[in-house]
Amino acid sequence: MITRRCFYSGAPRPWLFVGLGNPGDKYKGTRHNVGLEMIDTFAEAQGIEMNTLNCKAIFGQGFVDDAPILLAKPQTYMNLSGESTGPLAAYYKLPLNRVIVFHDDMDLPCGVLRLQDKGGHGSHNGLKSIIYHFRGNREFVRLRIGIGRPPGQMDPKAFLLQKFNASARERIDTALQEGVDGLKLVLSKGLTESARCFNTAQKYKHIRLQNMPI
């Protein structure tokens, strides 16, 4: 079990992975919930059980090799994600560069990922809430999960709450597995080197997917 006491024993400092989305079956499988799906995919791949509640989040903890990991799925609804994320980071006394937030991103094509060491909220309400609860500090890591833009004049809010069609679902499922590999690279190599390698591969994927309809 990972406790605050571990931080004084010379053990590696944990990473906190937070997946954003809305709780409940109504929202399961929607574009806005890919952050939660990324947590579930990572937890399953690493055999980490998500079976407790902590700071308004479904929570799990474990190790990947020697790296301690905390996994959280806030149950506050997207717009209040910071009410869970802020207290979790504070409780475990984590610097924000040990927090990685997984979230949907309309500025990336469907199925393309980016690791980013900091940034703004890009009008994403979950990120807005987290930045607010981090007292304006934006220097937490993000794993951006591309969902693409709404077609035509479609309302972006309606687009976010729709489920993926079959071809888009296939892209997302592939991206989630790639995300697991990228996160494991972060745990073993650190963020800077991992982000450079991971983002380069995703950039080539972006080019390859540009002319493929979904």
Does residue 103 have an active-site annotation? Answer: no
Domains, the chain, ordered by start: 15-211 (3.40.50.1470)
pLDDT in tens, 41-77: 999 999 999 999 999 999 999 999 999 999 999 999 9
In tens, the pLDDT along 147-173 reads: 999 998 999 999 999 999 999 999 999
pLDDT tens per residue, range 19-51: 999 999 999 999 999 999 999 999 999 999 999
Confidence of residue 186 (pLDDT cuts 50, 70, 90): very high
Q: Is the pLDDT of residue 138 over 80?
A: yes
Banded pLDDT at 8 (limits 50, 70, 90): very low
Query: How far apart (Å, rounded) are the C-alpha atoms in residues 74 and 147?
Result: 20
Quote the pLDDT of residue 122.
75
Q: What angle do CA 99, 104, 110 make, to 5 degrees?
A: 130
Out of 32, 103, 124, 133, which one is annotated catalytic?
32
**How many angstroms separate the CA atoms of 111 and 193, rounded?**
22
